[in-house]
Amino acid sequence: MGYAILAFDGADKARRAAAMDRHRAVISRWAEDGRMPFGTPLFTSEWEPSGSLMILDVLDMAGVQAYLSEEPFSVEGVWGEVRILPFRIATLPYQRLPKPGDPVASTRTHTVAIAYDGTDAEAPARRQAARAAHIARMQPMAADGTLAIGGAILDEAGQSMIGSIIVTRHAMDEAARAWIAEDPYVRGGVWRDITLHATRLAALPYRPLPGGA
């Protein structure tokens, strides 16, 4: 099990730019040694910086706290709200993530979707019933790059799946919503609360994702 850090910037927007170089140095080191399989900035639909999604491959909360204690965006008050979510990356045939030296877009290329399941008693059964079809749909999407990364949000015990995070190659909310609407987790009533964030992929010295190139 790992963790996803979903962080939102505070009111002082100048802090992000001031801490950016130190932030990149820290996340580059964590990506290179495999403790950060993925990280990406979040933007509003008007392309204003709004936060970050950082995925950590650490054993427990001590690993999360080790990262936060080094992360300038955390230490220097860039992030005003930090949510720590137990998370497991799905093993899929992902394409290689951008590495240093690769071209980096200056505008939106992808969408981050945070999707939570229902909280009623039947929610686990709905997820289980749709899971095979959902994974079957994600396989070719990962292989062709439509899905950059995806996985399950877990409960606090790290046992039950209660939602999903997916990062897809959609530059508009409308396109992302149309694609998501076709997923078995939507058609089967699994995902009940979906929030979208604009993003572009950062070039970092990532290791391959589980199942990926």
Per-residue pLDDT tens digits for 125-158: 999 999 999 999 999 999 999 999 999 999 998 8
Does some domain include residue 206? no
Give me the pLDDT at residue 1, please: 74
Residues 6+ apart with CB under 8 A from 196: 111, 112, 113, 173, 176, 177
Does some domain include residue 204? no
Give me the pLDDT at residue 167, please: 98
Residue 75 pLDDT exceeds 80? yes
Q: Are 97 and 89 in contact (CB under 8 A)?
A: no
Give me the pLDDT at residue 130, please: 98
- Per residue in 84-136, pLDDT tens? 999 999 999 999 999 999 999 999 999 999 999 999 999 999 999 999 999 99
Give me the pLDDT at residue 131, please: 97
Cα gap 168→77, rounded to integer Å: 29
Domain tally for the chain?
1
For residue 46, what are its two tokens? 């008007």
The range of the structural domain enclosing residue 183 comes to 2-199
Does some domain include residue 205? no
Does some domain include residue 70? yes
Residue 213 pLDDT exceeds 90? no
| DSSP state for residue 11 in the 8-state scheme | S
Give me the pLDDT at residue 41, please: 98
Does some domain include residue 185? yes
Does some domain include residue 209? no
Cα gap 7→41, rounded to integer Å: 9
- Per residue in 172-209, pLDDT tens? 999 999 999 999 999 999 999 999 999 999 999 999 99
Residue 44 pLDDT exceeds 80? yes
Mean pLDDT of all residues in 25-29: 98
Cα gap 47→43, rounded to integer Å: 5
Here the CATH number for the domain that contains residue 142 is: 3.30.70.1060
Mean pLDDT of all residues in 71-96: 98
Mean pLDDT of all residues in 68-83: 98
